[in-house]
Structure formats: C-alpha cells, structure tokens
C-alpha cells in the first residue's frame, strides 16, 4: 500500500491513481458494457451502498478521511435524474445506522473539495447484467434538497494547484466547493444545468410548445440570449425540446410577449413544426413579457421578422 504525506501530496497521488483507473477502463475505447468482475477487480465498487469509498485506495495514512470514489445508479432506490451532461444524485437515506449515510455524504463532499473526479456506474442499457462507467465532478450540492449536482466529463481534468487544495481536514475550503481551477473548467456546463433546473421548476417538466415530457429531451431556452446579456433566470426562459428550441432561435415562430398567441414564418406552420399548443396559457407560470419584447427589438429579430411581411 502506498502512503502519502499530507493532504496535498495524498490528493496528487489519488488523482494519479484515478487517472490510471480511467486509462485502464477506456483502453479498448469505451467504458461501457463492463463485466461485474472487472468492476470488482479494479475496486471501483463493492458492497451494496450507492456511494463507495475504497478502504485501501482512498482512505489511508496522510489522507483527509473517507473520500468517495464511485456513485452507483440503479434507477430503483431514488429518482436520480441523469442526462448526457449532468446528474442530480440524491443523498442516501437508508434504514442503516444514520452514521453510515452521513459518512457517505461527507465522502462525496470531500471528493468535491479536493477536486477529484468520481466514477459513476449504471446498468448497461442493452445488457443489464453489465455496467457502464462515466466520469463526473460534483460541482454543487444542496443540503436542503439532499442532492448532489454532478457534471459529466469525457476525461479527468488537471488537478488544482497545491495552494488551492485544503491544508487540513478541518480546512473550511474542503467543504466549500470545487477548487477554483477545477471549477472554471466545469462552470459553463454547471450554469446551463442550473438554469434548466430552475426553468423546469417554474414551468413544469414539459416542452412549452408540444407534449414531450422526458426531462433529458427538454432544454432551458433563453428568451434573451446569453450572448447579448440574457440572464440565467427562469423568467428569461422556457422549457423547449431541441426541435422547438431550434425553431425559436431560428425565428421560425414568434410567441406573443404576453403568451397569448404563436405565429409562424412564411412557409412554416403549426403542424409542420409539430406544435400542439396555440399559446402559453397552459403553463403554470408565465415568462417575462419584457424579456420577449426586448428579444424582438434586437437587430437579428427585426431583420428576421421583416421578411415575414
């Protein structure tokens, strides 16, 4: 067993170890459809808990305590919401002694504070007996919602500089979020996910223009684009499926600022775009009429709508 002296040195060693694990997992080009024996032999996961920390590899002399290595998705115990880019992972709430759940939650927060990636396992879609493995970083968590917010990545990010890592286990920075350098690398995706979450909370998990209700197929669409100063505020958004998000951005349709009607560009129709609503009155809340009005005053919108006449 390798022992690292001090949290900084331990974190550097653990980061290298996880790099090596991921390299081994993907040496055939993908980490999908792995046999259970592969997961066990690499000590990526063992036991029944949803959160796994390796007692031999990530909890030893010089380390900060238990540091999560793997999150297990089963789609049975909790309604964890995983998309191609993000994962909302519930805190464990089991019938075991409360200390077990608390320790597992703390281990994930430690991984976040140290800027270490997590392996996320889930059943393979075609062969349930086999396992898919992905990489992710906990970019935020909310104790009041008992939820970790994870951003998936394709490869392990560079480790933060030593001065950004906590010096001791009591260091408040250990539980204060990702190190700044790591945070910058995932921040853009994080903002997109949080905006989508807020939009779905305000308007419901359904496309505002059709009947698609699958969350992973719905996007948070900005009314005033971020490129011209649009805010990541649910009032400046609508839940739209990819097709209708594209149609809105391409000025193929126009939603009245008060949401009372939807009109279409020449040669485009409600049926052609497969829109199933005539207005936004069915939504539980309204978007900002000022946001839509401002969007329609932009040069791009005025130029597009001028061709409608």
Q: How many CB atoms lie within 10 A of CB 233?
A: 17
Domain that holds residue 149: 6-195
Query: Does 1 map to a domain?
Result: no
Q: Which of 195, 222, 246 is the last residue of a domain?
A: 195
Q: Quick one: three-class SS letters along 53-112?
A: CCCCCCCCCCCCCCCCCEEECCCCCCCCEECCCEEEEECCCCCCCHHHHHHHHHHHHHHH
Give me the half-sphere count of Cα atoms (radius 13 Å) on the Cβ side of residue 206: 14
φ, ψ of residue 68 in degrees (nearest 5): -60, 140
Same domain, 42 and 183: yes
Q: Total domain count for the chain?
A: 2
Contact 232, 191 (CB under 8 A): yes
Same domain, 143 and 210: no
Which three-class secondary structure state does DSSP give residue 129? coil
Place of tokens 């024996």: 37
Reference 260, options 289, 230, 280; nearest CA is 280
Q: Which of 155, 174, 195 is the last residue of a domain?
A: 195
Residues making up the chain, counted from first to last? 309
Same domain, 134 and 236: no
Same domain, 191 and 208: no
Same domain, 173 and 302: no
Residue 167: predicted pLDDT: 62
Cα–Cα distances in angstroms (integers) from residue 75 to residues 1, 89, 174, 286, in the given order: 35, 11, 30, 33
Query: Does 103 map to a domain?
Result: yes
Instruction: Give the predicted TM-score (pTM) of the model.
Output: 0.59
Residue 162: predicted pLDDT: 72
Q: Give CA–CA dist 153/35, Å, rounded.
A: 22
> What is the DSSP-derived secondary structure letter of residue 194?
H
φ, ψ of residue 131 in degrees (nearest 5): -125, 140
φ, ψ of residue 237 in degrees (nearest 5): -145, 170
**pLDDT tens for each residue of 34-81:** 998 898 888 888 777 789 987 665 555 566 778 999 999 876 555 567
Which three-class secondary structure state does DSSP give residue 130? coil
Cα–Cα distances in angstroms (integers) from residue 11 to residues 17, 77, 227, 304, in the given order: 10, 31, 37, 53
**pLDDT tens for each residue of 252-295:** 999 999 999 999 999 999 999 999 999 999 999 999 999 999 99
Same domain, 161 and 101: yes
Same domain, 45 and 24: yes
Reference 178, options 193, 157, 195, 198; nearest CA is 157
Q: Give CA–CA dist 18/21, Å, rounded.
A: 5
Q: In 139-179, which ranges are continuous DSSP H helix? A: none
Same domain, 220 and 174: no
Same domain, 54 and 119: yes
Residue 159: predicted pLDDT: 84
The distance from CA 293 to its chain's CA centroid, rounded to whole angstroms, is 31
Q: Which residues in the chain come in under a pLDDT of 50?
A: 1-5, 172-175
Same domain, 161 and 243: no
Q: Which of 195, 216, 232 is the last residue of a domain?
A: 195
């Amino acid at each position: 067993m390798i022992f690292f002296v001090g949290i900084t040195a331990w974190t550097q060693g653990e980061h290298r170890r996880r790099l090596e694990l991921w390299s081994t997992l993907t040496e055939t080009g993908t980490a999908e459809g792995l046999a259970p024996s592969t997961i066990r032999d690499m000590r990526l996961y063992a036991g029944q808990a949803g959160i796994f920390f390796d007692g031999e590899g990530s909890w030893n002399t010089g380390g900060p305590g238990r540091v999560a290595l793997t999150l297990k998705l089963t789609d049975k115990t909790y309604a964890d919401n995983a998309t191609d880019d993000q994962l909302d992972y519930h805190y464990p709430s089991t019938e075991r002694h409360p200390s077990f759940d608390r320790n597992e939650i703390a281990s994930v927060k430690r991984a976040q504070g140290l800027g270490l990636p997590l392996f996320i396992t889930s059943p393979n879609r075609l062969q349930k007996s086999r396992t898919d493995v992905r990489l992710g970083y906990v970019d935020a968590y909310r104790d009041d919602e008992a939820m970790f917010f994870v951003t998936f990545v394709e490869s392990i990010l560079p480790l933060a500089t030593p001065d950004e890592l906590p010096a001791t286990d009591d260091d408040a920075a250990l539980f204060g979020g990702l190190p700044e350098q790591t945070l910058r690398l995932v921040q853009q995706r994080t903002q997109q996910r949080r905006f989508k979450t807020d939009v779905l909370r305000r308007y419901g998990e359904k496309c505002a223009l059709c009947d698609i209700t699958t969350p992973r197929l719905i996007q948070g669409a900005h009314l005033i684009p971020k490129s011209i100063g649009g805010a990541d505020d649910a009032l400046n958004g609508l839940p739209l499926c990819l097709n209708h998000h594209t149609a809105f951005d391409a000025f193929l349709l126009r939603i009245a600022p008060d949401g009372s009607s939807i009109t279409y560009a020449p040669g485009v129709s409600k049926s052609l775009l497969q829109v199933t609503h005539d207005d936004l009155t069915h939504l539980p809340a309204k978007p900002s009429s000022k946001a839509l009005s401002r969007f329609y005053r932009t040069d791009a919108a005025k130029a597009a709508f001028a061709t409608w006449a």
